[in-house]
Amino acid sequence: MAIRNIVRSGDPILAKKSREVEKFDARLWQLLDDMKQTMYNANGVGLAAVQVGTLRRAVVIDCGDGYIELVNPEIIGSEGEQFAEEGCLSFPGETGVTCRPAVVKVKAQDRNGKWCIYKGEALKARCFCHEIDHLDGIVFKQRVIRGENK
């Protein structure tokens, strides 16, 4: 495992759409392992592959209730709404209040290609939405309804 550089605001790659993962091979596992280490090293709760410069639809998340890997994730259901302050490892020191669904259901593959269903509430629901947005080239600042740039 290795810590990779996190792409920062201003890098045009953050606005690009990531491609679907088709090969569940050692190269993907290396990417996921590196993303995991990079996320923990930065004290983050989620990281998308684009944030380490790789346009693949892969995300790692740990909101304090366990580590998960989402490959080719899709939101398949959502309920309600929540307003909370959000930040991003690619925008150090910047936060803003976003509106996200209160509960989110996600379908994703694991590192071996097996499909799984995940449900998230509160922070985890926000995290699912935030990271899946990254895969479509959307950053949280585009979702901010009340912002404050420190």
Q: What span, in angstroms and rounded, lies between the C-alpha atoms of 31 and 52?
A: 9
What track of x and - describes contact with Ni ion for positions 37 through 76 (by CB under 5 A)?
A: ----------------------------------------
Q: What count of residues does the chain have?
A: 150
Radius of gyration of the chain (CA): 14
- Catalytic member of 69, 86, 94, 131: 131
Nearest residue to Ni ion, using CB? 88
Nearer to Ni ion, 24 or 138 (CB): 138
Q: What span, in angstroms and rounded, lies between the C-alpha atoms of 84 and 56?
A: 28
86 assigned to active site: no
Contact with Ni ion (CB under 5 A) among 6, 52, 58, 88:
88
Cβ atoms of 88 and 140 within 8 Å: the answer is yes
Q: Is 123 in the site for Ni ion (CB under 5 A)?
A: no
